[in-house]
Structure 1
Amino acid sequence: MQSYLDFEKPVAELEGKIAELKSLAQTDDAVSIGEEVTRLQQRAEDALRDVYKKLSPWQKTQVARHPLRPHFSDYQRALVTEWTPLAGDRKYADDAAIQAGFGRIDGRPVAILGQEKGNDTESRLKHNFGMARPEGYRKAVRLMEMADRFGLPVVSFVDTAGAYPGIGAEERGQAEAIARSTEKCLEIGVPNIAIVIGEGGSGGAIAIATANKVVMLEHAVYSVISPEGAASILWRDAGKAQDAANNMKITAQDLLDFGIIDTIIEEPVGGAHRHPDTVMAATRVEIGRFLEEFDDGRGPLEIREHRREKFLAMGTALT
């Protein structure tokens, strides 16, 4: 069942009329609706295209958080074969917010990290809405160390509002765990790619996104803090999140201009949730392109230097 965002109201009304007509035709064989449905479908497609042609940063944030947007588990099922999950950090516990494991993408063995938000109430609670605790980041470090040892590229799928800010997480060293994970991203001698598929929130995202190549889906967002968090700090009013989003430069288009990310993966009209297979196919192509690019005999030192120079260069064009 389709779920509509507030700004999609014109599309919702047209698609609602289409559904009513189809339902009427099922109960009354004498009713011919083919021509009217075709006309309404065209109007709905045009309306959807017009809406998504001029999305504001806040509207893109809403699309990135859409409840039907594909999450890591969807990408894992669509892209990865021979999936072998890795559990636990060997220190405290397993954190379901970060999924880790090994598998093959188009036959190429890779190590895979992904932040999982969940798709319904039960799975969202299980995965803590994608907000990882320290043990999640320590599990990520464990996977990256194994990938480095066995010469496997690392593919990360980023989708989190931020690391979990609870008391227990802080007591177990949340900031240190994020820093260690970020450090490990920079340290490994194998190529890594990070794909922001929804929200890329703060250090919780960069802990697995400090990569040789950073890619964003067209309607994903990537920021140092959530719009609500920024509004709470700047204006002491989370209700001004829309104003914050519009001024924070959090969209893929802005970040590409600033050199923070390297590539944008286009989404179908209406967002990734409307045609997930199309997005999966485009993501597969981008990962394949990255693996081919680094399949050129570069050694660990050259790979580390490439990554280091990439991050050191950020912001220099603005000074």
Structure 2
Amino acid sequence: MTEIKSAWDRVLLARHKNRPTAKYYIDNVFDDFIELHGDRYYGEDKAVMAGLAVIQDIKCTVVAQVKGENTYENIEKNFGMTHPEGYRKALRLMKQAEKFNRPIICFVDTPGAFCGIGAEERGQGEAIAKNLINMISLKVPIISIVIGEGGSGGALALSISDKFAMLKNSIYSILSPEGFASILWKDASRAKEAAEIMKLTAFDLQKYHIIDDIIKEPEGGAQEDPKQCAFNIRNYILKSLDELKKSSVEEVVNNRYKKFRNMDNYWLNQTPSL
């Protein structure tokens, strides 16, 4: 069992090769799941698993960034790095959820959006931006959970939500520690140092009002007891849905908007004048 002492230790746990993927949680958190495919524009992105699900008799839509459980699957799923068609598939199903009044559950687990030429040619930035614009006003409850890595705009595109939580040993940041170190110091080998500065752990982000809740996972990481971790996630989702259903549709949407506006105001007040 790994003794967790630093932010870098949590980075390593978030990337652990045996850490449960979104597919594991979909199979073990929900009572039923039917996967749907395609963005109706270009094609299918296997880095995003999405479809219809049932949890304790509640019908919902699940959208998840998914990594592989072995080398072959990781290559097939592009190591969880989403293409623009993945974000467009996610938005298609989220709008479908709104039409049929189903809550939306998002699982975030990506190093970042895929930065290849093809993805840029097919409008990667526009696809992410469109998700952000639409998610802020969808008229159904949205719950987002970071289960591993939450990197850059690729993670942000599934993070606009009424309840935003992280597993205890997950991370969420503007880019990877290696990328941060490369930009700031021109030395990717200083990633461990960068991780301490970036405030990317669940505890840091809750302190700074970026996330709402931290979901417990077994000591040493979710891979030590995946079933317990799935149980904790299921309980969190049910508790959150029960809380959100007490508000009207208008209240849910207005509270979501105010939440992110307040986040902006908080950080503006923290920024020293130049």
Structure 1 length-normalised TM: 0.82
Give the equivalent residue in structure 1 for 2:13: 63
When Rg is computed on C-alpha atoms for both structures, the one with the higher figure is 1
Match for residue 251 of structure 1 among 183, 189, 201? 201
Alignment gaps of 5+ in structure 2: 270-274
**Superposed displacement of residue 283, structure 1:** 0.5
Asked if the contact 1:144/1:184 (under 8 Å) is kept, the reply is no
> Deviations 1:241-281 (Å, cap 9, x if unpaired)?
11111100000000000110000011111110001111111
| 1:86 has 2:36 as partner | yes
Give the equivalent residue in structure 2 for 1:288: 238
Name which of structure 1's ranges 164-173 and 102-111 shifts more when overlaid on structure 2.
102-111
Asked if the contact 1:259/1:315 (under 8 Å) is kept, the reply is no
Name the aligned partner's letter for residue 95 of structure 2: E
Match for residue 309 of structure 1 among 255, 258, 263? 258
| 1:210 has 2:210 as partner | no
Name the aligned partner's letter for residue 251 of structure 2: E
Q: How does 1:214-293 map to 2 (within 5 A)?
A: 214-293=164-243
Distance in 2 between residues matched to 1:165 and 1:109, nearest whole Å:
34
> Deviations 1:141-187 (Å, cap 9, x if unpaired)?
10110000000000000000000000000000000001011122112
Name the aligned partner's letter for residue 206 of structure 2: L
Structure 2 length-normalised TM: 0.95
Pairwise CA RMSD: 1.1
| Percent identity over paired residues | 44
| 1:191 has 2:173 as partner | no
Q: CA separation of 1:196/1:175 partners in 2, compared to 1, >3 Å: closer, same or farther? A: same
Distance in 1 between residues matched to 2:237 and 2:191, nearest whole Å:
33
Name the aligned partner's letter for residue 68 of structure 1: N
Distance in 2 between residues matched to 1:121 and 1:184, nearest whole Å:
34
Name the aligned partner's letter for residue 248 of structure 2: R
Give the equivalent residue in structure 2 for 1:97: 47
Name the aligned partner's letter for residue 293 of structure 1: E
Match for residue 161 of structure 1 among 92, 108, 111? 111
**Superposed displacement of residue 82, structure 1:** 2.6
Asked if the contact 1:265/1:282 (under 8 Å) is kept, the reply is yes
What number of residue pairs does the alignment pair up? 268
**Superposed displacement of residue 315, structure 1:** 4.9
Give the equivalent residue in structure 2 for 1:26: none
Give the equivalent residue in structure 1 for 2:150: 200
Give the equivalent residue in structure 1 for 2:272: none
Asked if the contact 2:30/2:234 (under 8 Å) is kept, the reply is no
Name which of structure 1's ranges 63-72 and 179-188 shifts more when overlaid on structure 2.
179-188
Match for residue 77 of structure 1 among 16, 24, 27? 27
Give the equivalent residue in structure 2 for 1:107: 57
Distance in 1 between residues matched to 2:98 and 2:159, nearest whole Å:
16
Asked if the contact 1:102/1:110 (under 8 Å) is kept, the reply is yes
Distance in 1 between residues matched to 2:117 and 2:266, nearest whole Å:
40
Over 2 Å off, 4+ runs: 315-318
Distance in 1 between residues matched to 2:108 and 2:77, nearest whole Å:
14
Distance in 2 between residues matched to 1:315 and 1:269, nearest whole Å:
34
Give the equivalent residue in structure 2 for 1:34: none
Distance in 2 between residues matched to 1:82 and 1:316, nearest whole Å:
40
Match for residue 132 of structure 1 among 69, 82, 89? 82
